[in-house]
């Protein structure tokens, strides 16, 4: 099977990482981008080159165990692979490549025996606490082989209770070896676009308290599960879903999911509920009927956020408010798989999640310096309720023309946004590239790179080699695309090497507020741009473009 370019990049990044580092890397790829295939390709290539290696693939639900196993067997039918999962009724402990459920194996390290690599699918679910099934199992496997390496695969490289997986005293993963943006995969047609419709009904959670970084479950359910609200919500879902075939609805509690299901049935919609109370046989039947199109809507409570694959989903309704950025992204990701006859997936956000977290291609984990209380440059089409950027003059869904020029909004980070950043990126030909040192009081220096379209127009980015792990991994990726030499550790070293880099001939830029962000590059064999390197001290107050450093 031919890997897509980004999948090949992901596999290669693992090999490159272990030639340069001695840690435990993460591979960050959006939902529906083919993590199972990347995992399968890596396993096959590893065993073909090092046939004595032993690998464990660990995850948390039987559906994902089965999916990863089938992907490998489809790619490599002779693979020495087995499964250890109580839910799948298989315990092939001695297989060279063993696909495991963490619930089944967390106390059975001795039975499984030593291994060389542990690959954790959906690795964002490894808790911060050291006293958990994952942590105890990893410690037990390290006792059998202190050289064991751990590789994580995830769509969200932060925990559901916030915090980067590569940060903190109790971290398992040390670096991000590869990350591919969701926007790139949508633009390249590998993922299905998401279209936001702004419903008129909004769930009120103003009185709900927080615990562990998210809303208290009991209070949340009591606040949103009200008959009059449920009826209004369901009427809107039916309205927007009239031409949609498969609806997935995330609810705020088991009873809430059942009540939404019942309200749908009253309006003649075939619907079922899955939750933690649904037995395995019934859940499998419901989901198979859903995928076959014999059930139109499935309501659920915290059960289909990961490990569930149904490409036909073309409407998702958020009735589950959350402060968890990761949970929000995982829910939206259920609609991003392509399917025959499916041009996009409609998102109905009754919960305010898009307002809290922003578009899924631009989200960042919450920190003390980013609390998500700003204003977003968006508006809603009065005809079709599509959420659009303020600068859009004509609605792409229904053709409505907006009068005049909207008032510009400077803060790009919060409130009611489209679920995918709406501005259209453009390719710009580069005539000259200038490298310089950027100094900002109170922060480490960074490498500023200016791409000149002409002598008067340029687009800038900041390569943060000295800023710590949370952003330096992106700087390393940036450098590796341009050079086979080891990435420099300082801006001074980078400036010495800048004129030897492979220089992009074009950059893909997207407008964000009053600034432009560089999101991709093209390297060609034609005439190279002029390169200019100057090591001058530049203070933020003298910078005419922006006083913020982009995390590259």
Residue given tokens 């490894």 in the structure block: 126
User: 194-389: which CATH topology?
Assistant: Rossmann fold (3.40.50)
β-strand pairing of 55-59 with 90-91: unpaired
Inform me whether the pLDDT recorded for 409 exceeds 60: no
The CA-based angle 368-207-376, given to 5 degrees, is 50
C-alpha R_g of the chain: 24
> Residue 269 has which token pair?
């919609």
Residue given tokens 């037995």 in the structure block: 279
Residue given tokens 């309720």 in the structure block: 385
Greatest pairwise CA separation for the chain in angstroms: 71
Inform me whether the pLDDT recorded for 377 exceeds 50: no
Query: Rounded mean pLDDT of 128-155?
Result: 90
DSSP 18-80: HHH--S-EEEE--TTS-HHHHHHHHHHHHHHHSTT--EEEEES-HHHHHHHHHHHHHH-TT--
Q: Return the domain boundaries, the chain.
A: 5-180, 194-389, 426-542
Who has greater pLDDT, 478 or 260?
260
pLDDT tens digits along 268-324:
999 999 998 999 899 999 999 999 999 999 999 988 987 788 999 999 999 999 988
- Report the pLDDT value the prediction gives residue 424, as an integer from 0 to 100: 66
Classify domain 5-180 by CATH number: 3.40.50.300
Residue given tokens 């109790």 in the structure block: 170
Inform me whether the pLDDT recorded for 370 exceeds 60: no
Categorize the per-residue pLDDT at 246 as very low, low, confident or very high, splitting at 50, 70 and 90.
very high
User: CA 260, CA 250: separation in Å to the nearest integer?
Assistant: 10
The one-character DSSP state at 158 is B
Categorize the per-residue pLDDT at 471 as very low, low, confident or very high, splitting at 50, 70 and 90.
low
User: CA 346, CA 386: separation in Å to the nearest integer?
Assistant: 10
User: CA 511, CA 460: separation in Å to the nearest integer?
Assistant: 12
Beta bridge partners, 158, equal 164
The model's pTM is: 0.68
Least confident of 17-26, 50-59, 410-419: 410-419
User: CA 334, CA 331: separation in Å to the nearest integer?
Assistant: 6
Domain 5-180 identical in fold to domain 194-389: yes
pLDDT tens digits along 446-464:
999 999 988 878 899 999 9
β-strand pairing of 378-380 with 387-389: antiparallel
pLDDT tens digits along 8-42:
999 999 999 999 888 999 999 998 999 999 999 99
Residues 6+ apart with CB under 8 A from 209: 215, 216, 219
Instruction: Answer for the pair 300, 250: CB distance below 8 angstroms, yes or no.
Output: yes
The 10 Å Cβ neighbour count of residue 406 is 16
pLDDT tens digits along 341-368:
999 999 999 999 988 888 887 776 554 3
pLDDT tens digits along 201-237:
889 898 899 887 789 999 999 999 999 999 999 999 9
Inform me whether the pLDDT recorded for 91 exceeds 60: yes
- Report the pLDDT value the prediction gives residue 535, as an integer from 0 to 100: 64
């Amino acid at each position: 099977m031919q890997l897509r370019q980004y999948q090949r990049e992901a596999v290669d990044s693992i090999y490159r990482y272990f030639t340069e580092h001695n840690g435990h890397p993460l591979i960050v790829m959006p939902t529906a981008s083919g993590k199972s295939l990347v995992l399968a390709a890596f396993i096959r290539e590893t065993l073909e080159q090092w046939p004595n290696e032993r690998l464990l693939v660990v995850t948390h639900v039987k559906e994902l165990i089965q999916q990863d196993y089938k992907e490998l067997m489809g790619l490599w039918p002779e693979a020495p692979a087995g499964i250890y999962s109580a839910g799948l009724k298989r315990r092939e402990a001695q297989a060279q490549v063993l696909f495991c459920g963490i619930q089944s194996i967390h106390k059975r390290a001795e039975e499984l025996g030593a291994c060389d690599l542990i690959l954790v699918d959906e690795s964002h679910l490894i808790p911060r606490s050291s006293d958990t099934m994952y942590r105890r199992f990893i410690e037990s496997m390290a006792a059998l082989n202190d050289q064991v390496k751990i590789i994580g695969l995830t769509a969200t490289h932060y925990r559901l209770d916030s915090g980067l997986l590569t940060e903190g005293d109790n971290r398992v993963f040390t670096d991000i070896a590869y990350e591919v943006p969701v926007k790139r995969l949508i633009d390249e047609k590998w993922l299905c676009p998401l279209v936001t419709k702004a419903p008129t009904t909004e769930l009120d959670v103003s009185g709900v308290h927080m615990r562990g970084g998210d809303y208290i479950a009991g209070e949340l359910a009591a606040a949103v599960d009200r008959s009059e609200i449920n009826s209004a919500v369901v009427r809107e879902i039916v309205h927007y879903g009239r031409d949609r075939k498969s609806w997935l609805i995330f609810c705020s509690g088991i009873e809430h999911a059942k009540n939404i299901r019942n309200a749908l049935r009253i309006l003649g919609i075939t619907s079922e509920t899955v939750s933690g109370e649904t037995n395995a046989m019934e859940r499998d039947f419901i989901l198979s009927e859903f995928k076959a199109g014999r059930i139109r809507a499935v309501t659920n409570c915290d059960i289909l956020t990961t490990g569930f694959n149904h490409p036909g989903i073309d409407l998702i309704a958020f009735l589950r408010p959350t402060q968890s950025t990761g949970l929000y992204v995982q829910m939206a990701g259920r609609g991003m798989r392509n399917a025959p006859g499916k041009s996009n997936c409609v998102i109905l956000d009754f919960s305010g999640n898009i307002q809290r977290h922003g578009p899924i291609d631009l989200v960042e984990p919450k920190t003390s310096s980013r609390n998500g209380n700003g204003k977003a440059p968006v508006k809603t089409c009065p005809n079709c309720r599509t959420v659009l950027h303020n600068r859009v003059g004509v609605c792409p869904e229904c053709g409505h023309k907006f009068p005049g020029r909207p008032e510009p909004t400077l803060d790009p980070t919060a409130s009611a946004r489209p679920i995918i950043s709406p501005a259209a990126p453009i390719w710009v030909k580069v005539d000259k590239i200038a490298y310089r040192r950027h100094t900002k009081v109170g922060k480490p220096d960074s490498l500023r790179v200016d791409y000149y379209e002409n002598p008067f127009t340029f687009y800038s980015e900041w390569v943060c080699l000295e800023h710590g792990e949370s952003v330096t991994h992106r700087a390393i990726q940036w450098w590796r695309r341009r050079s086979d030499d080891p990435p420099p550790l300082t801006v001074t070293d980078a400036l010495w090497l800048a004129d030897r880099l492979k220089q992009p001939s074009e950059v893909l830029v997207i407008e964000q507020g009053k600034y432009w962000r560089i999101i991709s590059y093209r390297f060609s064999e034609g005439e190279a741009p002029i390169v200019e390197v100057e090591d001058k001290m530049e203070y933020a107050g003298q910078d005419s473009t922006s006083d913020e450093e982009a995390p590259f």
